[in-house]
Structure 1
Amino acid sequence: MRNLNEDTITQAVIASLNGCRDERLHTVITSLVQHLHSFARETKLTEAEWQAAIAFLTATGHITDDKRQEFILLSDVLGLSTLVTAQNHAKPAGCTEATVFGPFYVTGSPEYRSFDDISNGARGEPCFVRGQVRALDGKAITNALLEVWQADEDGHYDVQLPPGDNGAVEHRARGKLRTDADGRFAFRSILAEPYPIPHDGPVGALLSALGRHPWRPAHLHFMIQARGYETLITHVFRDGDRYLDSDAVFGVRSTLVAQWVRHRPGTAPDGSRVDVPYYTLDYDFVLNPQGSAA
Structure 2
Amino acid sequence: MTRYFTEDTSVEAVNARMGEDIDPRLKTVMASLVTHLHAFAKDVDLRQEEWDFAIDFLTKTGQICSQERQEFILLSDVLGFSMLVDAINNRRPSQATENTVFGPFHVDNAPIREMGDTISLDGKGERCRYEGRVMDLHGAPIEGACVDVWSDNADSFYDVQQPDIQPKWNNRGRFFTGKDGRYLFYGIKPVSYPIPDDGPVGKMLSALGRHPYRPAHMHYLVTAPGFQKIVTHTFVGDDKYIADDAVFGVKETLIAPFEYVNDGETIWRSPFDFVMVPAAEPVS
So what's the TM-score if we normalise by structure 2? 0.91
Q: Which runs of 4+ in 1 moved over 6 A?
A: none
Pairing 1:283–2:284 present: no
Change (3 A) 1:220 1:63: same
How many angstroms does 1:10 deviate by? 2.5
Distance 1:260 1:8, change over 3 A: same
Q: Give 1:283 deviation, angstroms.
A: 0.9
Report the Cα offset of residue 19 of structure 1: 4.4
1:254 alignment counterpart: 252
2-structure distance, mates of 1:20, 1:190? 56
Q: Is the 8 A contact 2:4 2:13 kept in 1?
A: no
**2:130 maps to what in 1?**
129
Question: Which amino acid in the other structure matches residue 196 of structure 2?
Answer: P
Correspondence for 1:57? 58
Which residue in the other structure is 1:270 paired with? none
1:148 aligns with 2:146: no
Listed as ranges, the matches of 1:82-93 within 5 Å are: 82-93=83-94
Structure 2 CA distance, aligned partners of 1:49 and 1:203? Answer: 17
Distance 1:264 1:236 in 2: 21
Is 1:207 the counterpart of 2:196? The answer is no
* Greater mean alpha carbon deviation, residues 26-35 or residues 7-16: 7-16
Once the two structures are TM-superposed, the CA of residue 163 in structure 1 deviates from its matched residue by 4.9
CA distance in 1, matches of 2:56, 2:110: 35
Q: Structure 1: how far apart are the matches of 2:3 and 2:34?
A: 19
Q: 2:226 aligns with which of 225, 228, 250?
A: 228
Q: Which runs of 5+ in 1 are unaligned?
A: 267-273
Distance 1:31 1:163 in 2: 47
Whichever residue aligns with residue 242 of structure 2, its letter is: L
Most deviating of 104-113 and 171-180: 104-113
CA distance in 1 between counterparts of 2:25 and 2:248 reads 28
Deviation at 1:3, TM superposition (A): 5.8
* Residue 34 of structure 1 pairs with residue 35 of structure 2: yes
Amino acid at match of 2:51: W
1:269 is aligned to none
Structure 1 residues 122 and 15, CA, compared in 2 at 3 Å: closer, same or farther?
farther
Q: Is the 8 A contact 1:127 1:278 kept in 2?
A: yes
Change (3 A) 1:119 1:34: same
SS, match of residue 155 in structure 1: coil
1:28 deviates by 0.7
Task: Identify the residue that residue 216 of structure 1 maps to in structure 2.
Answer: 214
Once the two structures are TM-superposed, the CA of residue 263 in structure 1 deviates from its matched residue by 3.0
Alpha-carbon offset, residue 254 of structure 1: 1.4
Shift of 1:67: 2.2
The one-character-per-residue Cα deviations of 1:216-263 (angstroms, maximum 9, x if unpaired) are 111111111111111111110112112111111111111111122233
Distance in 2 (CA, whole Å) between partners of 1:2 and 1:95 is: 50
2:10 matches 1:12: no
Report the aligned-residue RMSD. 2.1
Contact 1:67-1:104 at 8 Å conserved across structures: no
C-alpha displacement at 1:20, in angstroms?
Answer: 5.2
What secondary structure does 1:208 align onto? helix
Tell me the alpha carbon deviations over residues 65-104 of structure 1, each in whole angstroms, 9 at most, x when there is no partner: 2222222221111111121122221211211111122222
Whether the aligned pair in 2 keeps the contact of 1:141 and 1:183 (CA below 8 Å) is yes
Q: With the length of structure 1 as denominator, give the TM-score of the two structures.
A: 0.88
| Cα separation, 1, equivalents of 2:64 and 2:118 | 33
Rounded to whole Å, the distance in 1 between the matches of 2:235 and 2:79 is 20
Aligned counterparts of 2:279 and 2:235: Cα–Cα separation in 1: 26
**Shift in CA distance, 63/22, structure 1 to aligned 2, threshold 3 Å:** same
Equivalent pairs counted in the alignment come to 282
User: Percent sequence identity over matched residues?
Assistant: 46
Q: Which residue identity does 1:153 align to in structure 2?
A: A
Paired residue type of 1:80:
F
